[in-house]
């Protein structure tokens, strides 16, 4: 049974949440200079000034982006890589509970900030993909971090097409991702103490998965749920 939403978000009505300590994780960097994607160590920092603040701490990517504005203009998409066509039941249970808290404020009182964090989570662009059998070990939830500071950095032309096509359409044709793009993986529980995001290391196998992509249909398009 899932914990109450205020526990998931890590807040008590009488006091503000504490700041999470830094955590070092292994993520993936897709460089803007066209060199191959690679694993790297990333250290998290408290995040409260962008669309990722519902995670409470996020990878510190400032050294890879050109300006402070590029960091301030960061955004993220969510990718769920599945073993088969069945979305885990827990996803539906959690979403139902979250919607109840958003739509029935009298029964489930939330602070303005708690409500904002829930809205952030569900306004994200999210895609479900099915993995080929050989990449079943890569299943899980990933967040793709990018900056939309197009005036500060060149466009990233090295993104695999299945990654590039996640997100909002720009100019009715394609998505734009300036600068380096990063992926981090969530632990199965996703949320831990005080509502802080729980990450896990990405393994080397994921680099091949990233390159080859998910299952495709007969037209070569990724199979999505």
Taking the complete model, does pTM exceed 0.75, yes or no?
yes
Tell me whether residue 222 is in a domain: no
Within-domain flag for 194: yes
- pLDDT by residue (tens digit) across 86-114? 666 566 556 656 666 666 667 666 666 66
Residue 135 counted as domain residue? yes
pLDDT tens per residue across span 7-47: 555 555 446 668 899 999 999 999 999 999 999 999 999 97
Number of separate domains in the chain? 1
Asked if residue 156 lies in contact with residue 181, where contact means CB atoms within 8 angstroms, the answer is yes
Q: Please give the residue range of the domain that contains residue 79.
A: 5-12+29-212
Answer yes or no: is 138 within a domain: yes
Q: Is residue 224 part of a domain?
A: no
Mean of pLDDT values over 180-189: 96
Distance CA 219, CA 40 (A): 34
Convert the pLDDT of each residue in 108-161 to its tens digit. 666 666 665 566 666 678 888 999 999 999 999 999 999 999 999 999 999 998
Helices 112-123 and 89-103, axial angle in degrees (round to 10): 140
């Amino acid at each position: 049974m899932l914990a109450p939403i205020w526990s998931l978000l890590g807040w008590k009505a009488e006091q503000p949440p504490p700041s999470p300590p830094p955590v070092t994780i292994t993520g993936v960097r897709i460089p803007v200079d066209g060199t191959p994607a690679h694993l790297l160590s990333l250290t998290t920092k408290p995040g409260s000034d962008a669309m990722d603040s519902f995670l409470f701490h996020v990878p510190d990517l400032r050294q890879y982006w050109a300006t402070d504005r590029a960091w301030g203009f960061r955004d993220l998409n969510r990718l769920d890589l599945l073993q088969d066509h069945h979305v885990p039941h827990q996803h539906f249970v959690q979403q139902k509970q979250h919607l109840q808290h958003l739509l029935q404020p009298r029964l489930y009182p939330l602070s303005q900030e708690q409500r904002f964090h829930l809205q952030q989570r569900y306004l994200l662009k999210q895609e479900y993909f099915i993995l080929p059998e050989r990449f079943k070990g890569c299943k899980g939830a990933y967040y793709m971090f990018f900056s939309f500071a197009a005036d500060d950095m060149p466009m990233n032309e090295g993104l695999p097409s299945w990654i590039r096509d996640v997100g909002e359409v720009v100019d009715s044709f394609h998505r734009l991702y300036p600068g380096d793009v990063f992926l981090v993986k969530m632990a199965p529980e996703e949320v831990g103490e005080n509502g802080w995001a729980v990450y896990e290391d990405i393994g080397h196998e994921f680099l091949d998965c990233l390159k080859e992509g998910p299952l495709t249909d007969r037209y070569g398009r990724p199979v999505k749920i």
